[in-house]
A and B are shown apart, each in its own frame.
Chain A
Amino acid sequence: MKTFVVSDPQRGTIVYRDRKRHLWLASLFYPLVALSGVGLYWVAAAEWVLWIPVVSLYAGVSLLDHWVGADPNNPPEAVVPLLEADGYYRWLPMLTVPLHFAVLLALAAFVATHALSAAGVAVAALTAGLYSGLGINTAHELGHKKTEVERRLARIVLAVPVYGHFCVEHNRGHHRHVATPEDPASARMGESIYRFALREIPGGFRRGWASERERLARQGKSAWHLDNEILQSYLLSALLQGGLIAAGGLVMVPFLAIHNVFAWWQLTSANYVEHYGLLRQRAADGSYERCQPHHSWNADYVVSNLLIYHLERHSDHHAHPTRRYQSLRSFADLPTLPNGYFGMFLAAYVPPLWYALMDRRLLALPHIGGDLGRVNVDPAARARLERRYGGAASLAA
């Protein structure tokens, strides 16, 4: 285990050992779990085993989060520059990129060369899509960084799920407008994940494209110029998926369609749980207050965080978007989800269960104190929520 030592002028010598250092290899190798279903298929010669990686991700990680629990440990601030400069951490997300390509190619080859039922093709596509959704998370970690190589790799890995607009949209759109009614990537109270998806997926695309078009216009270039970083990623997607259809035949069309949509759905799920109902207040001039730590839902579960590069330490990520995963900190008294993201995704897919778990928790947050005026409420649900919670200021007591 590597020990980081800093001599701080005020606080003397600070020694820090990162207990998660080697566990971060889980984020690197987790995409390969996707292929375990194929291995099991060869051993068991039965199609139903292909479901195991999908089910194990959702159910298994939710249970492990429950059993293994949370990790409130933080690196001391003085050590952060050393952590940020440590090449080991920097390499892991970059090395994850080819694995996402490998998973899609391997599952596509499997589907193209085996006589599967329609359900078998669908579950292989869902498995691939689940892990390409994790590819969007890999792109998220890389796309927030300042080096050209990391930003380029983010665009490359986004080609796998055909989501090349994500980095532009997320950095320039979501981070600026997070926790406001204007943000298509922040869920509103009373909005089911299914209605949210119909706002989030097209809204994110439009905002990302508009932002890139503006940047190119400042350079005096057309939006269709090859310097358009969204187009670059889409072109790579076209090569990749067009090549798969050419090589694997027509079965690749439904396989890739399900894969792509399910990968986007993973991001939709993360966006849904990360800011549900949270709202930044407006100043007298109409501008929104700066994003505060209480404008994100956090989860500090060890297992799921190790699989998604600390994404669940979400408040610190929004406070310092360029900070690397190994340096993100946990804070007490922040909005906290009752399980990790994977468990919360499952809850979100059953809207009544989600509302039962989250609505009172949301209203009870100290900065909301039961006041629906301090909540990002879905206009379509406002009347219903006001009838139910209108006199609920006592919830916070």
Chain B
Amino acid sequence: MARFRCPDCGYVYDEARGDPREGYAPGVAFAALPDSFVCPDCSVRDKADFVADEAPAHPIAAMPGTPPRA
């Protein structure tokens, strides 16, 4: 189960958890999300913009509104 991160706001789509509020059950693969998927938190990054998130996000890097470290 992989994790994918919004490069603007730090939202993480964790395949193991899904995003039930958005209607994606635990276990739904990121690849299976519709192409119209936008970041549920900031809405200004699309599915294609998301990046693989290998390690759990550092608490500071995951601060809302904080751009990720280059």
Contact = CB atoms under 8 A, between A and B. Distances in A.
State yes or no: do A and B come from one complex: yes
Interface of A: 80-81, 84-85, 144-146, 171-172, 175-176, 215-220, 290-291, 318-324, 327
A176 B43 contact: yes
Contacts of B21: 215
B20 A175 contact: no
B43 A321 contact: yes
B46 to A, nearest CB: 9
A122 to B, nearest CB: 38
Contacts of A175: 42-44
B20 to A, nearest CB: 7
B22 A320 contact: no
Given A172-B38, A176-B38, A218-B24, A318 B44 contact: yes
23 contacts: A80-B63, A85-B63, A144-B42, A146-B9, A146-B41, A146-B64, A172-B38, A175-B42, A175-B43, A176-B38, A215-B23, A216-B23, A219-B23, A220-B23, A290-B44, A318-B44, A320-B67, A321-B43, A321-B44, A322-B42, A322-B65, A324-B64, A324-B65
A81 B63 contact: yes
Interface in B5-52: 8-9, 11, 20-24, 38, 41-44
Chain B CB count within 10 A is highest, among A175, A218, A318, for A218
Interface of B: 8-9, 11, 20-24, 38, 41-44, 60, 63-67
A84 B63 contact: yes
Chain A CB count within 10 A is highest, among B41, B43, B67, for B43
Contacts of B8: 320
B20 A219 contact: yes
Chain A CB count within 10 A is highest, among B20, B60, B64, B67, for B64
B24 A291 contact: no
A318 B38 CA distance: 15
A81 B66 CA distance: 7
Contacts of A218: 22-24
Contacts of A84: 63-66
Nearest to B8: A320
Contacts of B22: 215, 218
A218 B22 CA distance: 7
Contact of A320 (B11, B20, B23, B65): B65
Contacts of A327: 65
Nearest to A84: B63
Nearest to A170: B43
A145 B64 CA distance: 8
Q: Please give me the 9 A-B residue pairs with the lowest Cβ-Cβ distance, nearest first.
A: A218-B23, A323-B65, A219-B23, A81-B63, A322-B64, A322-B9, A322-B65, A321-B42, A175-B43
B28 to A, nearest CB: 10
Contacts of B24: 218
Chain A CB count within 10 A is highest, among B11, B42, B60, for B42
A144 B60 CA distance: 19
B42 to A, nearest CB: 5
Chain B CB count within 10 A is highest, among A81, A145, A172, for A81
A316 to B, nearest CB: 10
Given A81-B66, A84-B63, A172-B43, 20 more contacts: A80-B65, A81-B60, A81-B63, A84-B65, A144-B42, A146-B11, A171-B43, A176-B38, A176-B44, A215-B21, A219-B20, A291-B44, A318-B44, A320-B9, A320-B42, A320-B65, A321-B43, A321-B44, A322-B42, A327-B65
B31 to A, nearest CB: 17
A176 B22 CA distance: 17
A217 B41 contact: no
Chain A CB count within 10 A is highest, among B20, B65, B66, B67, for B65
Contacts of A171: 43
Contacts of A80: 63, 65-66
A219 B23 CA distance: 4
Nearest to A174: B43
A219 B22 CA distance: 7
